[in-house]
Amino acid sequence: MILFFYNLALIAAFLLTAPWWLWRTASKRRYREGLKERLGEVPARVARMREEGALPVIWLHAVSVGEVLAVSRLVSELDFSFPAYRLFISTTTATGQALARERFGANRVFYCPLDLPWAVSSYLRALEPRMLILAESELWPNLLDSCFRRRIPVAVVNARISDRSWPRYQMMKLLWKPLLSQLSAVLAQTEVDAERLIALGCAPQRLLVSGNLKFDVRTAEESDATLLLRKLAIDLRLVVAGSTLEGEEAMLLEAWPRLLEADPNLVLVLAPRHPERFSAVALRLARSPFPWVRRSDWPSKPAFALTPLHPGEVLLLDTMGELASVYSLASFAFIGGSLVPAGGHNPLEPAQFGVAIVMGPHYANFRGIIDDLQAHKAIRIAAVEQLGETMAELVRDPAEAEAMGERAREVFDREAGATERTLRVVRPLIEARRR
């Protein structure tokens, strides 16, 4: 009955917001991206791969870039462990879709359907999955209910309930309890996440604290940007500001002169989180007093033919998939989404390279990881007012920055192993479906 009211509310919300969605769809390409798939049309490439060999299917859903990166090793391990299965991956965002297609192959990647009964049923009929694996907090009532009605086991990996979403989940506990109690396995990131999931209805005997899959993600190859920077920034120190959101670039540029006072031989690498903001950030840089260059303007020719970077210059990293590798060159890194109330982004990408980390005070999305880094003095948290001085201190004291980075690397290495713990739970569930 509660699911009926949920669907009634969904339809009412759709009707009320339909004019706005129609306008956004007509005016913004990213709203049209994958729209048919989201509404339940299974793409031909996926249908063809499903039919090839008629192999049993595992469906894994990872909402965006961070989740795709987090499950990337898990996907590899499942491919290796279950060659007689076909693993399909869905995402919600366009950036997550692009990364998933690049990493896993376009023919088995698709946009996750909206949580509408007919859209969900369309994919379940086409794929007939033996198991559904959801990453982090991607819990959708109709998707879960449709799987349970078809007796498809569902596992949630890298599960978390953020501080921001916890009150909303509590308000809808009557909806979640009958659904979450039917989950076959839940692998929580932290004890806090586990307690919240149990409070919402997850069965304690089917829940395990497995750690964070993101500790197992390591950047294996250097990006082209990294290779070029090694040659174009000789004798310069890089400050890498990654995954920045609107408003943060202005704050960083305001602090930039203070850092240059501490060491004039710096270059700022600025990497906005969302590609659609690259042009806006470029316009802001054009209006600033600082020399700057776009990574996308570097043509495909040898590094010796390019102009070297100069002290005080800003490099706009307006490409996708290169930031993680570029962190390896940083004297220290700033992690975006943390000076504005957006919950922060992943500090583990620089930590794996032994790079010191600075973040703002808004980091609820990664509280467990950051609390661990703070406990080992491997990260500095700075409000906007202290940002310039906090970063300048690390510029003036490279030995301390190096020591911070080493402590961050130690935390990263020590916490690894979540993928194997996850596989120990998921493997038997898949094997049971063979029989």
Instruction: State residue 66's pLDDT score.
Output: 85
Confidence band of 34 (pLDDT split at 50, 70, 90): confident
pLDDT over threshold 70, residue 416: yes
Structure tokens at 23: 């306008």
Please provide the CATH number assigned to the domain covering 30-211+417-434. 3.40.50.11720
Average pLDDT score over residue span 79-83: 95
Query: Is the Cβ–Cβ distance between 348 and 215 less than 8 Å?
Result: yes
Residues above pLDDT 90, as percent of the chain: 77
Vertex 286 angle, CA 285 and 289, to 5°: 75
In angstroms, rounded to a whole number, what is the distance separating the alpha carbons of residues 48 and 108? 10
Burial class (CB in 10 A: 0-12, 13-18, 19+), 46: buried
CATH number of 224-414: 3.40.50.2000
Q: What is the CA radius of gyration of the chain?
A: 23
Helix (H) or strand (E) holding 208: strand 207-209
pLDDT tens-place string over residues 350-360: 999 999 999 99
pLDDT digits (tens, 9 = 90+) for 127-146: 999 999 999 988 999 999 99
pLDDT of 301 > 90? The answer is no
| CA atoms of 419 and 64, how far apart (whole Å) | 19
pLDDT at 13: 76
Of 63, 349, 326, 91, give the one whose Cα is nearest residue 215: 349
pLDDT at 242: 97
Q: Count of H helices and E strands in the chain?
A: 20, 14
Name the burial class of residue 368, with classes exposed (0-12), middle (13-18) and buried (19+) by CB atoms within 10 angstroms of its CB. Answer: middle
As given in the structure block, the two tokens for residue 255 are 């602090």
Q: How many Å apart are CA 174 and CA 408, to the nearest integer?
A: 41
**Residue 74 CA from chain centroid, whole number:** 15
Contact assessment for residue 139 and residue 320, using Cβ atoms and an 8 Å cutoff: no
For the chain, give every domain's residue range: 30-211+417-434, 224-414
- Would the CATH topology of 30-211+417-434 be identical to that of 224-414? yes
CB 249 within 8 A of CB 334: no
What was the pLDDT predicted at 24? 64
Catalytic residues: 67
